[in-house]
Each structure stands twice: as C-alpha cells, then as structure tokens.
Homo-oligomer: A and B are copies of this chain.
Amino acid sequence: MLVNLEMKLETRGAGDIVDITPRLRELIRGSEIMSGSVIVFSPSATSGLTTLEYEPGLIKDLPQLLERLIPSDCPYHHDKTWQDGNGFSHLRAALIGPGITIPFVKGELSLGTWQQVVFLEFDNQARSRRLVVQISGEGKKD
C-alpha cells in the first residue's frame, strides 16, 4: 500500500527549526498502513530534514553551528550571479539533505524518546513550504 500526502508549513527564514513529529504521527495514524516507512521530502534546494532533540538549547546550537561552518556573509559564487544572497542556504541544504526515511511499526514511528523529526529552513526569508509525505507498507487489513 502507498499513500501520497502533503504537509504545509510556514517558516520564519534561516535558522528556523520546525518540529513536524506530531503532524507526521497524525498522518500515519490517518493512513490505512500499519507497518512500513514514511519518506518526508522537501521539494526545495534551500531546506533540509533530519532528527533532533527539539529543545530550546539545541534549536539555538544547530543554527549557530551551521553559521560557523557555512557562514551567511561569505561571498559565494551563487550570490554573484543571482544576487539573492542565499548561497549559504543552498550549501547547508546540500549538506543536510532534502529528505528522511523513517520506519514505523504497528502504527508507531521508530523514534527515540528524545528524538524529533525536524524541518530546517535555510533560506534567507520567511517561506511557505510544502513537504511531500509518502507512506508505504502493509495495510491494517493485510
């Protein structure tokens, strides 16, 4: 069985981290699939997905780390051509990756207690985002 869904998000620009775990759990619960996996994919070149303990310290630490590794004020070639100033966003996105695949078993996402699925906004402005959520596996009646 395969179900194609979407999740819409509003973000506040670079450094914004959104915990999508509750909505992901809801989508899985609402599907007719009992065990399988979910792919969450961002059709964008300036955002990413990973897991993180979503707590006030780390949601400051991760953007600060990325700012140190891939500074926003560097003269990237991308910016010279396109003048949109988001070269750093593209590079952070390529490093983190645009998607994540997570198994779930008997309706429960296989996450740790302190582990959330997070959407990372890297673009240098607030954005409306649409994530592709594809759930596949064995149906409740299989």
- Interface contact B90-A78, CB-CB below 8 Å: no
Chain B binder among A7-15, A23-31, A39-47: A39-47
CA distance A95 to B65 in the complex (A): 10
Q: How many copies does the complex hold?
A: 3
Instruction: With CB as the reference atom, state the residue of chain B lying closest to A91.
Output: B65
Interface of A is mostly: mixed
Give the interface size bracket for A toward B: 35 or more
The 3 tightest CB contacts between A and B, nearest first, are A57-B78, A57-B77, A43-B112
Taking A45-B51, A58-B90, A97-B97 as given, write out 20 further A-B residue pairs in contact, using a Cβ cutoff of 8 Å, ordered by the A residue number: A2-B35, A2-B36, A4-B35, A37-B136, A44-B112, A45-B53, A45-B112, A50-B95, A51-B98, A52-B93, A57-B76, A57-B78, A57-B82, A61-B76, A65-B91, A94-B118, A97-B100, A99-B102, A99-B103, A136-B137
